[in-house]
């Protein structure tokens, strides 16, 4: 069994590096760049033997934290990039991939079910587990798949209309406000307004 863990390093109570280790070998690292740092200085000071990602251009919108992430290739940042939206407790709400022109290539959004009631025929029959969630995956323009890590449905949905019809008054959609349904079933916006 692989022995995996993540080493977190902080500077002035801010996360600065995240080092991923498996079987005592580093297999990837992320550097969290603050706005007052110089990109060229950061790039020169990183261990070039590691596969690095730089998180930069941190923003806070509607109470969510957004990081732009770029890989490092041959000592330079790649032109394609990702943007990831986090809650204040570090849960990923959405992750978008962009090409070098800034066009979306794919995206994923997560609706967290943990602790929410399971309602069947208007009655609460239990509660979702802490890690339970629904994933809404998109290609560049439309939803591709809706899946879950729960036993709500065993096979992912590939048609939004079918998902909406089958879950309209059931244990998923009845937990969402109209703004949530709109956010999770459309590729844009990046950041929720709720």
The string of pLDDT tens digits covering residues 55-97 is 999 999 999 999 999 999 888 899 999 999 999 999 999 999 9
> For residues 1 and 18, which has the higher predicted lDDT (pLDDT)?
18
pLDDT of residue 154: 80
Per-residue confidence band for 49, with pLDDT thresholds at 50, 70 and 90: confident
Query: Residues 145-157: what's their mean pLDDT?
Result: 91
> Which of 4-13, 28-37, 169-178 shows the lowest mean pLDDT across its residues?
169-178
Determine the 3-state secondary structure of 149 from DSSP.
Answer: coil
Query: Residues 159-167: what's their mean pLDDT?
Result: 93
Whether residue 2 is predicted with pLDDT greater than 70 in this model: the reply is no
Which residue, among 143, 134, 89, 146, has the nearest Cα to 110 in the 3D structure?
Answer: 134
Per-residue confidence band for 123, with pLDDT thresholds at 50, 70 and 90: confident
Query: Residues 5-31: what's their mean pLDDT?
Result: 94
pLDDT of residue 159: 94
Rounded to whole angstroms, the Cα distance separating 163 from 111 reads: 15
Query: Residues 134-145: what's their mean pLDDT?
Result: 96
Rounded to whole angstroms, the Cα distance separating 126 from 43 reads: 50
Which residue, among 191, 189, 22, 18, has the nearest Cα to 93 in the 3D structure?
Answer: 191
pLDDT of residue 183: 98
Q: What residue spans define the domains of the chain? A: 1-77, 79-194
Per-residue confidence band for 29, with pLDDT thresholds at 50, 70 and 90: very high
């Amino acid at each position: 069994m692989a022995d995996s863990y993540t080493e977190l390093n902080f500077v002035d109570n801010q996360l600065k590096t995240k080092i991923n280790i498996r079987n005592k070998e580093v297999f990837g690292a992320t550097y969290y760049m603050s706005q007052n740092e110089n990109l060229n200085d950061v790039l020169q000071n990183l261990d070039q033997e590691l596969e690095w990602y730089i998180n930069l251009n941190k923003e806070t919108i509607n109470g969510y934290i957004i990081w732009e992430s770029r890989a490092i290739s041959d000592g330079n940042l790649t032109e394609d990039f990702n943007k990831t939206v986090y809650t204040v407790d570090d849960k990923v709400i959405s992750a978008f991939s962009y090409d070098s022109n800034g066009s979306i290539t794919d995206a994923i959004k997560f609706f967290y079910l943990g602790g929410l009631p399971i309602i069947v025929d208007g009655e609460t029959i239990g509660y979702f587990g802490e890690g339970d969630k629904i994933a809404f995956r998109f290609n560049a323009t439309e939803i591709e798949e809706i899946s879950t890590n729960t036993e709500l449905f065993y096979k992912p949905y590939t048609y939004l209309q079918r998902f909406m019809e089958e879950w309209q008054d059931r244990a998923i959609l009845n937990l969402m406000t109209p703004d949530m349904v709109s956010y999770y079933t459309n590729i844009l916006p990046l950041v929720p307004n709720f």
